[in-house]
Every structure is written in structure tokens, then in C-alpha cells.
Structure 1
């Protein structure tokens, strides 16, 4: 039965003009099983550290990394072990300790196939304040080869600092470096600063948007300006953590918004997704 009624647990891309079809939890399970039967179909994974901020406020949970590892395991059980085309880890140092990051990467490598090719795209996004020699060395050792630097308007004022940190990242032979400006309400005010970044830092791209997202592996033009919604991966993408929205072929799933329901599902060995209505 087709229904155009808006549902609160579906995050539809604004460019998608399609009708909604509500399905049951049983039907969703069957669709996931069908997806599982296509092992050659790769996936893309995004993990946002901010989606685990609530864990630090829960005295009953000892490890943020362990919570994420449970979700990784649940997804692998649901769709099977398959290749990961693009991996993105956002804000890893705000809520995870270095040993937890190692634990998370081990879980990903154990349950999915992470490429070791130089052509892989394992991208990490951090604020400029989190960039230092110790952090960059750890991320490189964990297999990340693309760096996504998140800047505020105030950060754009200090271009020499940005140049110095980009030089540090390049010393570790990262394959690509991108810049994100997350609070650029009026680009006219930032035009000169953006030009400075393009000329003095020469990033692969400058992304204008609030949140880091899975982007195409290869941006067409060097130094391209990308706005929110452009160059974004939309198919076979899994966004882990609280409120994460995943798209597998035509199926849209959203994780629970409630920490209690999210954790309860993981403790029961289930995916922490809303049971319905779902969308195809």
C-alpha cells in the first residue's frame, strides 16, 4: 500500500521524488536477507564520534568503543561480511581513547573486508584543534589515508596555523586532504579566506556543510568547492551510532534516537534500528 504521509523516522534526501511504502519489521528482515545474498555488492560506512557522546554520561557503560563494536557485529550478522568501498570516521578523539580506536578498527577488519590497496578511501574527519603529531601517527597506523579537516569561521583567520598542520599531515603521506567549513552561513564574508586556503593549502576539495558525510572517492576537479548534498554517496551507505540513517539499495533504516532503546537492542544482539515504518 502506497502512502505519502511523512514519517518521523525516515530521513529522505531532498532530491528524491518518490512515494513512500511502509513495510513491516518482518519484510525489512527479508529485504536485508536479500541484500545479504549479494556478497559482491560493497558497502560504505560512516561512524560519527558525536553520535556516542551520550555513552560518557552513562555510568553503566565502561567503554564507548565496545558499544560501537557491538553495532559493527550486528551489521555484519545482518548483511554478511563484505568489502568496504569507503570508510569515514568523524571526530574520533572527542569520545574515544586511542586503545578504543584500535579496538574499533580491529572489529571492522574482523567483520568486513577493509582494503589495504593504495586506492582505498579511508577518510578521517577531525577539528583542527585535534591535529597533532601523536594523533596523525595513530590514524596513519590504523590505515587512514585521507584527512578531512573541519574548520570554523574563526579557524580561517589563522591560515599559517592551517598551513603548518597540513604540512604535518602530508609528512605522513596521506593520499588526500580536504577542508570542511561547518558554519559558513554567508560565503561572501569568507571569500578572501577561502581563496587563501585554496592558494596556500591546495586541498583536494573545500566542503561547505554542517556535518561530515560520505563523499565520492574521487572529486572531479582539484580544489573543488562542494556544497552540502553534492558529491555525496547515497547508495549502500551505513551510518552507525545514535540516529544514524542507512540506505541499502532501496531500503532506508534509521537507528534509534533513544540511547536506552539503542543500547537495549545491541544487548539483545539486534540491529538498533526502528522496526517501522521503514521505507523502500
Structure 2
């Protein structure tokens, strides 16, 4: 007599895989989303400083990426967004991660965007990113204050030297509508960025949004049902209404990856 399968039992997502990645209910929910577009986000601020102390960042993220590929299949990627920090990510890390994404997912229509501070927009970094097919260079400043606005001129000119399709500015926090309007006018007059985005989350920002208007708030973005996969310790991902969070503890994160399991701290109830 066949024994009924417990839906909470850890099982393999692929019948020929010996490694168990996640439970059956999670597998089913991934299957329901397999034809939806997905963004992949690498945020250098999320736990990577601590990860660098215990592991090689690039190799760890590539191992996690491989596990997600086994769980999700060859999903179509709408956007690859790298939040770059020179303090944690090295050129060989970035190259390995981007090549890993390209080999495991459908990137034929993907928008490549790098988000970085003006200080990190160095010549060698921009050259590397452009060589890896990044199209949008987005310079992020915390506030639209005069001292931060003055930091934009050289990085914007440098990015244009490398012929990024779009060179934009992201203002992460706004303080007062009148001050913000004045700062936007100053930026347009002095630097003429291709777009200015006000908000903290940028992965939904698409080419169609920028074509319609060049100063955008999060509320202005075209509603697209896009899943997003965020890599690294403590990273949160979303697949439809399902939200998953990686272990923020570096030891637990690395332990799960080495066991061949997704490093998820939160698992949905069966």
C-alpha cells in the first residue's frame, strides 16, 4: 500500500536531484509562478560585509544562485539590479555572479542596472560594468542637498564616457516638496541626467517608465506583476504574495548553502 506523502516533508524539486532544496508546498508555489517575469537583485549593503569576513562573497552568492535555479527553473529575467559597493564586491565577484545568472536564467530581454554612490563610480568599475552589458547607471544619493548634488557632475560625465544607455540619479530620501523641486531643477540645469527617481526601491523601474516621464516617484511606476529574487544573507524575495527571507546569521546562511538547501529563515506553512 502506498504511503501518503506528507506535504511538509523535505523533497527534491527535481526527481533526479538527490539534494532536497525546500518543501513540497514551496515547490508548488514556485511552479505556479514559472511563467512570470522575475528581477534579480544583488544588494551589497545586505549582510555582505559580515559574509566577507567568513567566506568569499562571489562564491557564496553563486552557490545560492545555483540553488535558486534548481528551485525555480530557467525563469525569464526582466531586470538584473546590482547595488554596488567597492568595500565588499570585487571585480571577479561581480563577473562570476553575472555570468552565473546568464548561464542559468533567460536574460534575453533583461535590463541591467547598477546602483552606486558617486564615490564608487570609478573609471575601472564603470568600464567593468559596461563590459558586462549593464545599460543603466544609477547614481544614488541620500538627500537632495547641495553638498550631495555637487558630487554628481564627475560621475555623470564618466558614465556617459562609457556610453551607458541611461544615466540617472536616485534620491533615496526626500525632505519637503519645495526643496525637492528646487534640487531637481538644479540637477537638470547642471547635469541633465536621463531621469531622476525619488524612492528607495528601484527594481520595478523600467524603460517604459522612463520613456513616459523623466522625474519619477515610486507611485508613478507602471504596475507590473514582477517577482524578485534578492541574494545574500538577510535578503528578502517575493514571488506573488509569497515573501521569503534568507537567514541573516552568516553561520546559518552558509550552513544551509553547503547542505544544498535554500538558506531560508522563513518558510510558508504547508
**Which TM-score tier does this pair reach, normalised by the shorter chain?**
0.7 to 0.9
User: What residue is the counterpart of 1:100 in the other structure?
Assistant: 93
Task: Provide the C-alpha distance between the structure 2 equivalents of 1:225 and 1:74, rounded to a whole number of angstroms.
Answer: 35
Gaps of 5+ in 1: 1-23
User: Using the alignment, how far apart are the partners of 1:105 and 1:141 within structure 2?
Assistant: 11
Residue 104 of structure 1, CA deviation: 1.1
The aligned residue for residue 207 of structure 1 is: 197
Contact preservation (8 Å) 1:85, 1:121? yes
TM superposition shift of 1:223: 2.0
Of the candidates 218, 222, 244, which is equivalent to residue 213 of structure 2? Answer: 222
Task: Output the TM-score relative to the length of structure 2.
Answer: 0.80
Aligned length: 247
Question: What is the alpha-carbon distance in structure 2 between the residues aligned to residue 275 and residue 225 of structure 1?
Answer: 33
2:164 aligned with 1:166? no
Paired position in structure 1 for 2:29? 31
> Structure 1 residues 156, 175: closer, same or farther in 2, change over 3 A?
farther
2:39, 2:203 within 8 Å by CA — same for their partners in 1? no
Q: CA deviation at 1:233?
A: 5.6
- Following the alignment from structure 1 to structure 2, what is the Cα–Cα distance between the partners of residues 193 and 261? 44
Q: Which residue of 1 aligns with 2:53?
A: 57
Matched with 2:70 is 77
Structure 2 unaligned blocks of 5 or more = 1-21
Moved more, 77-86 or 248-257: 248-257
RMSD between superposed Cα atoms in Å = 2.7
Partner residue of 2:106?
113
CA distance in 2, matches of 1:126, 1:91: 5
> How much has 1:268 moved relative to structure 2?
1.0
